[in-house]
Amino acid sequence: LQTRLQAGQGYGNTLNCVLTVYRNESVAGFFKGMSFPLASIAVYSSVVFGVFSNTQRLLSQLRHGDPSRTPVLTDVALASIVAGFVSVGIGTPVDLVKIRLQMQTQPYIEANIKLKPTVPGFPVYRGPIHCFRTVLQKEGIAGIYRGAGAMLLRDVPGYCLYFIPYTFFCGWITPDECISPNPSSIWLAGGVAGAISWGTATPMDVVKSRLQADGVYLNKYKGTLDCILQSYQNEGLKVFFRGITVNTVRGFPVSSAMFLGYELSLKAMKRDQTETKP
């Protein structure tokens, strides 16, 4: 829904998008492009959270000589920025493949040009691997990383507004007598952080989606700035808030589960290390 709303044509609102996708493509339409992100999400999340955690530990070691010391706000912000840069390197190709697979059945409408998929049931890409290979052969590495600039502008501030609110809310709702936050505090703080991050990241998420969807039929945008200018000139400021409801609503449960898994995994590993020490 997010991709269709941000880069597609003819969807008035979220409900209209849901009904249109279901009417034209049935339930399978909601799962297009899912396999590639599903196969890579574990690696992507572990790398991003691992980079964030280890950067915090490194900064605490450099500042205080103790990697286990609770990081200050500036350390959390710096670790978030580093995690944002790393996420772009891993996530851009995955997002591109997902978006191309989701958008290849959409008609392209520009002025008097209207292009449709070649033959119903025979889309441009046969699957994620074919999509990746096709883009790489036709557009090279630059094609695989199309939209990386917009994703960088989305993820660097986005992860700052992800990890910082989580750290703040987690500390705020955890009782002073508790050494570490309980699962319910982690779940709530993670959900709030996810909703804040995805809500504020929506404008650049729209630009990224449009850049990566561009190229299935024609190359309409020359780059990030050109996409921003064309989108604003054609559709006004409101275009940058397409899909904000889906992003915000989705951000809460996804981030709750992500942070809960992260914190519980850290606790389990620390417990195992303690038990195995002589």
Q: Is 1.50.40.10 the CATH classification of the domain at 146-277? A: yes
Determine the pLDDT at residue 216.
Answer: 65
Determine the pLDDT at residue 243.
Answer: 86
What is the pTM for the complete model shown? 0.81
Across the chain, which has 278 residues, the per-10-residue mean pLDDT values are 68 70 71 68 88 92 81 92 94 90 63 42 73 90 93 95 93 73 90 95 93 78 92 92 90 93 83 54
Determine the pLDDT at residue 64.
Answer: 78
Determine the pLDDT at residue 18.
Answer: 74
Residue of 243, 149, 145, 238 lying closest to 198 (CA atoms): 243
Residue 104 phi/psi, 5-degree rounding, is -70, -20
Q: Which two tokens stand for residue 264?
A: 């519980």
For the chain, the domains span 33-141, 146-277
With residue 273 as reference, give the H or E element that holds it. helix 244-276
Model confidence over 127-180: pLDDT tens digits?
888 889 999 998 899 999 999 999 999 999 999 999 999 999 988 887 765 667
Provide the 8-state DSSP code for 29.
G
Neighbouring residues of 226: CB distance < 8 A, sequence distance ≥ 6: none
Determine the pLDDT at residue 219.
Answer: 77
Determine the pLDDT at residue 89.
Answer: 92
Determine the pLDDT at residue 116.
Answer: 44
47-51 own/partner pairs: CB under 8 Å, 24+ apart: 47/86, 47/90, 48/83, 48/86, 48/87, 48/90, 48/159, 49/83, 49/258, 49/262, 51/79, 51/82, 51/83, 51/86
Determine the pLDDT at residue 105.
Answer: 64
